[in-house]
Amino acid sequence: NAGVTQTPKFQVLKTGQSMTLQCAQDMNHNSMYWYRQDPGMGLRLIYYSASEGTTDKGEVPNGYNVSRLNKREFSLRLESAAPSQTSVYFCASSQGRGGQETQYFGPGTRLLVL
Amino acid sequence: AQSVTQPDIHITVSEGASLELRCNYSYGATPYLFWYVQSPGQGLQLLLKYFSGDTLVQGIKGFEAEFKRSQSSFNLRKPSVHWSDAAEYFCAVAEGGYQKVTFGTGTKLQVIP
């Protein structure tokens, strides 16, 4: 099993460009998450999907959209990238939706917005 | 609102020495508590978690953590650190019935020979 995979690994964008970060999991998990990690701030939740067909905002959703394409895939879209979105983005999944669930993380996507 | 504080941004220990990483949380009821580790260039991996019961929790790679309700703490320990333990460690807190997990800002561990 590959676990949680993310593409691309690195990306450089110019301000105003758009892009989609892809995430897939092969563990048959119900819940999926997108986080961003910034120095000194830990991980902050952008959006999550408790189950296929549902998505909800997290702590920092502005400037992002998500799509739960199916049970395996959860994508994050930046419609008009801004330098403030320079960050490392992590996708995660868990079997259930509760806070007690262990989350399994992908390797991350490093995004630089110029 | 739940919150997590990791007061040490960076810690350096000698290989073979003991380790304790501090974590304090703020939450009304008994929380769900986690420690995750992030190796350079990698995603986070669960080390251990506490829900209820025995307040001393054993995890992978020889780590353990102790839940102290009176001190609102969940400190991570290891009796003898290996060079491969160099990584960033995150404490996290969650409510059982809800989706939200709050992560601390992390403690970066450096291991010197």
pLDDT digits (tens, 9 = 90+) for B26-82: 876 778 999 999 998 888 999 999 988 888 999 999 999 999 999 999 999 999 999
Of residues A99 and A52, more confidently modeled = A52
| Greatest CA separation for chain B | 44
Of the residues A35, A103, A104, A109, the best mutation for testing chain B's interface (the one with the most B CB atoms within 10 Å of its CB) is A103
Amino acid occupying residue A100: Q
Secondary structure (3-state) at B28? coil
Backbone φ and ψ for A84, nearest 5 degrees, come out as: -65, -10
Q: What is the mean pLDDT of residues A14-28?
A: 96
The terminus-to-terminus CA distance of chain A in angstroms comes to 36
Instruction: Name the band, by pLDDT with cuts 50, 70 and 90, for residue A41.
Output: confident
The nearest CA of chain A is from the CA of B99 a distance in Å of 5
Q: Is the pLDDT of residue B1 over 80?
A: no
Decide the pairing of beta strands A104-105 and A87-94.
Answer: antiparallel
What per-residue string of b and e applies to A1-20 under the rule 16 or more CB within 10 Å gives b? eeebebeeeebebeeeeebe
DSSP state of A112: E
Which residues in chain A are closer than 8 Å to B94, comparing Cβ atoms? 98-100
